[in-house]
Amino acid sequence: NAGVTQTPKFQVLKTGQSMTLQCAQDMNHNSMYWYRQDPGMGLRLIYYSASEGTTDKGEVPNGYNVSRLNKREFSLRLESAAPSQTSVYFCASRVDRVGLQPQHFGDGTRLSIL
């Protein structure tokens, strides 16, 4: 079982470059999430998609855009990368937005902005 797959695993960008982080899940989950994890800050929600066709802002959405391409795929785009966006990005999925089911996480994309 693949679960949640994120690509790429590592990326280095220059300030001002753009990039799309890809996420796909094979568990038929309705809800998908993007987090960033920084030392001393914990996981912070960037955007989420409660179901196919909907997206909503999380705690730290500035500088990012998302696309829920279909039920399986949820991408995160940095239009003009800034050094403050250096982080580890995690995608997660969940059966539904509400309920007791846990989130399933990918193994992250490590992004450095120079």
Q: If binding is defined by CB under 8 A, does position 98 make contact with other proteins?
A: yes
> Which residues have a Cβ under 8 Å from the Cβ of 98 and sit 6 or more positions away?
none
Q: Can you spell out the DSSP letters for 82-107?
A: -GGG-EEEEEEEES-SSSSPPPEE--
d(CA 52, CA 106): 19
Q: If binding is defined by CB under 8 A, does position 104 make contact with other proteins?
A: yes
Q: If binding is defined by CB under 8 A, does position 106 make contact with other proteins?
A: yes
Q: Which stretch binds other proteins (CB under 8 A): 19-27, 63-71, 77-85, 92-100?
A: 92-100
Q: Round the CA-based radius of gyration of the chain to a whole number and report it.
A: 13
- How does strand 87-94 pair with strand 64-68? unpaired
Q: If binding is defined by CB under 8 A, does position 71 make contact with other proteins?
A: no
Binding pattern for the stretch 11-50 against other proteins, x by CB under 8 A and - elsewhere: ------------------------x----xxxx-x-----
Positions touching other proteins (CB under 8 A) are 4, 35, 40-43, 45, 90, 92, 97-100, 102-108
